[in-house]
Structure 1
Amino acid sequence: MDLYRNPSEVVPSNGVQAPEGSERTLYPYVTGTSVIGMKYKDGVIMAADTGGSYGSTIRYKGVERIKTIGKHSLLGASGEISDFQEILRYLDELILYDNMWDDGNSLGPKEVHNYLNRVMYNRRNKFNPLWNSLVLGGVKNGQKYLGMVNMIGTHFEDNHVATGFGNHLARPILRAEWREDLTYEEAVKLLEKCLLVLLYRDRSAINKFQIAKITEEGTTISKPYSLKTFWGFSAFQNPTVGAEGSW
Structure 2
Amino acid sequence: AQQASTTSSTWQPAAEASTGREAKHSNPQLHLHTDDHHQTSCHRSLHPRYRHPLPPSPLPSFFNQILSIIMDHRPQAWGRPRDDVYGAYNASYMNPNGPNQATQAPIVTGTSVIAIKFNEGVVIAADNLASYGSLARFTDVKRLRKFADSTVVGFGGDVSDMQFLDRHLQSLDIEESYDLSTDQPPRLNAANLHKYLSKLMYKRRSDFDPLWNHLLVAGLDDAGKPFLAAADLLGTTFTSPSLATGFGSALAQPIMRRYVPDEEAAAKLTKEKATEVIKECMKVLFYRDARSLDSYSIAIVTKDGVDLKENEKLEKQSWKFAERIRGYGTQVV
TM-score, length-scaled by structure 2: 0.65
Instruction: Report whether the alignment pairs 1:8 with 2:105.
Output: no
State the alpha-carbon separation in 1 of the partners of residues 229 and 147 from structure 2: 14
Q: 1:9 Cα deviation (Å)? A: 2.4
Comparing 163-172 with 92-101, which one deviates more in the overlay? 92-101
* 2:228 partner letter: L
How many residue pairs were aligned?
235
User: Structure 2: which 5+ residue stretches go unaligned?
Assistant: 1-75, 80-89
Counterpart in 1 of 2:70?
A: none
* 1:240 partner letter: Q
Counterpart in 1 of 2:214?
A: 133
Q: Give yes or no for contact 2:142–2:310 (8 Å, CA) kept in 1.
A: no
Instruction: Report whether the alignment pairs 1:218 with 2:305.
Output: yes
Q: Give yes or no for contact 2:120–2:225 (8 Å, CA) kept in 1.
A: no
Q: Give yes or no for contact 1:8–1:21 (8 Å, CA) kept in 2.
A: no
Counterpart in 2 of 1:183?
A: 270
Going from structure 1 to structure 2, the CA distance change for 1:8 and 1:102 (only over 3 Å counts) comes to same
Match of 2:287 among 197, 200, 214: 200
Going from structure 1 to structure 2, the CA distance change for 1:220 and 1:22 (only over 3 Å counts) comes to closer
Query: What does the per-residue CA deviation read over 1:165-214, in whole Å, with 9 as the maximum and x for residues that have no partner?
Result: 11111111111222322222211111122112211111100111221111
State the alpha-carbon separation in 1 of the partners of residues 248 and 329 from structure 2: 30
Q: Give yes or no for contact 1:120–1:129 (8 Å, CA) kept in 2.
A: yes
Counterpart in 2 of 1:245?
A: none
Counterpart in 1 of 2:229?
A: 147
Q: Which has the larger share of strand?
A: 1
State the alpha-carbon separation in 1 of the partners of residues 185 and 141 from structure 2: 32
State the alpha-carbon separation in 1 of the partners of residues 91 and 158 from structure 2: 20
2:105 match: secondary structure: coil
Instruction: Report whether the alignment pairs 1:230 with 2:311.
Output: no
Q: 1:30 Cα deviation (Å)? A: 1.0
Aligned-residue sequence identity (percent) comes to: 33
State the alpha-carbon separation in 2 of the partners of residues 84 and 22 from structure 1: 16
Q: 1:3 Cα deviation (Å)? A: 7.8
Task: Give the 5 Å matches for 1:1-247.
Answer: 7-10=92-95, 20=98, 23-103=101-181, 104-106=184-186, 107-140=188-221, 141-178=223-260, 179-180=265-266, 181-227=268-314, 228-232=316-320, 233-234=322-323, 235=325, 239-242=330-333
2:106 match: secondary structure: coil
Going from structure 1 to structure 2, the CA distance change for 1:217 and 1:79 (only over 3 Å counts) comes to same
Q: Give yes or no for contact 1:109–1:137 (8 Å, CA) kept in 2.
A: yes
Going from structure 1 to structure 2, the CA distance change for 1:163 and 1:238 (only over 3 Å counts) comes to closer
State the alpha-carbon separation in 2 of the partners of residues 196 and 6 from structure 1: 48
Comparing 59-68 with 97-106, which one deviates more in the overlay? 97-106
Going from structure 1 to structure 2, the CA distance change for 1:2 and 1:88 (only over 3 Å counts) comes to farther
* 1:231 partner letter: W
State the alpha-carbon separation in 1 of the partners of residues 92 and 317 from structure 2: 47
Bigger radius of gyration among the two: 2
Counterpart in 1 of 2:55?
A: none
TM-score, length-scaled by structure 1: 0.86
Q: Give yes or no for contact 1:50–1:65 (8 Å, CA) kept in 2.
A: yes
